[in-house]
Amino acid sequence: MNILNPKVPLALQELADFASAAASCMTEESPITGIYVADQTENEQDFFKLEVSGAVFERCTFERCIFEKTSFYDCKFQNCNFSNSNLQDAYFERCQFQFCKCIGTNFHGSVLKHVAALQSNIQFADFGGTKLTNVLFRETDLTESSFAESSLKQTEFQNSRLIKINFFKTPLAGVDFAKNEFAGPVLSSPPFELQGAKVNAAQAVDLARLLGVIVEDL
């Protein structure tokens, strides 16, 4: 999997108040760059159309915040919480999430390029209508998240939990589910989305039920 890592500057400016700095940049319609943000909590803050590049966020909480149409370039998020926040139509390029929580987060219509989600909890998230290119989900829980009507190009799932995922009208050709916990997907009838996808034998038995096939033990 060829994913470009974030290009984060060696020297970063530590921000004691990210929300205030972001508000100033949004007013001036200028990007916020080369920053380090740690141990900050924001609730229901509006970061609409903010542009962030070359940044590291550690142990930050952004719950129920608005990041709609926000752009992130070359950013690292470590032990951060974006649960129930709105990142609709956001843009991510060369970004990494590790040990993060994005439960119920809205990524609808977003663009993700060269993005890695590692050892994270992304249950009940909405990736509907997203465009994913060179994206990796490793050791990540995506239970009951939605990728309906999305585009998955060079997207990999590794040792992740994919239970009751909504892949309605999302072509899965070339996607390898074999080394993941994959069961109960939401698909069309018949499930054309699975054409060209790779599954293991146990997963195939479960998916056969979507076709009305009953597999008996020998």
d(CA 61, CA 101): 9
* Structure token pair of residue 21: 């700095």
Domains for the chain: give ranges and CATH numbers: 13-162 (2.160.20.80)
- pTM for this one? 0.93
Which pLDDT does position 109 carry in this prediction? 98
How do residues 86-133 score in pLDDT, each as one tens digit? 999 999 999 999 999 999 999 999 999 999 999 999 999 999 999 999
Task: Name residues of the chain where pLDDT drops below 70.
Answer: 211-218
17-20 long-range contacts, Cβ below 8 Å, gap at least 24?
18/42, 18/60, 19/45
* Confidence (pLDDT) at 218: 42
Which phi and psi (to 5°) does residue 24 adopt?
A: -65, -45
